[in-house]
Chain A
């Protein structure tokens, strides 16, 4: 178990490698009840969200989802989150556990008349069922329901209780995230156990997301780095009708190019797993950056990592070294993601 944002979370139930493999080939479940759930509504809620978030909310259809960023004035990432449109004027946001307070403080500071938001994080629980067998499991546990389309969301009443089912995840596999009342969660978890869905911990969640180069807030995303530096400019809509907070800084970066970019690094040989904080060395063994994430990739069998590195020194294909206990291990900057289906 590990303490995380005030929660006690399991790192693993049996084995990180086994749990990882299960999600890639079959189906596993992660308890994601620590994540925050916020509901936004109001006649002008779409415009209000468009002014706070980077993606184009006006383009978001009802029952669809969008990965997006909440930025500070200097373009740094306060949170990366998923925004779901429930109907024309109401939205559901799933935010990072450690960022719930920052997000609601930001909302309070920018609140407009006619906009209401409810932070219902403590009333909701979440289970992420991930893996190629997830759709079939969903149909079985709901007595014949079908999952929404990819990135879709269903806000439904099932057996008298509200649940929000999203075809999203953080593993790179097909699957869904089921949000229900905290009271109903243990029942759902038991139903999944009865279907032999394998319980998975934070450890496998981390190796799965890192193989896909999905960023981890607090590690790969911080208030000092912008989405463009993180290589996630495709979730930033510069041309949308409403200008979002932080746009000016991002636009300048877009025109001038960023100095540092979050790059994917793969070790050349099997060896010590890279870990967050380890130095990255350039040609002359000079330190050019530090890992923000690192792990042994269970799928590839070698170490993989992310680091903000200077673009004038390295690009895809460049040789670098990762320093582990004083020794420089040979590695290469590679194309994202590490893992291809």
Chain B
């Protein structure tokens, strides 16, 4: 079980209710498992912010894992460890 901090912004923050939350991720302790855990805890309001309803797939976005940038499209098997910090960079468009 890995306890990680998740930093959130904008509409994701609105769903999670805080700038930073702590969450425990069961084995296998991966980034993908973290998002599944978040989806279970926060339900449909969370899912609809990050999963594309047309395809059912996770939308493309960047994630900061301990100051390293990873991708939702390719890096969900990345291992996470107790004490890790994860920031969800909500799908970013231009202004």
Do A and B share a complex?
no
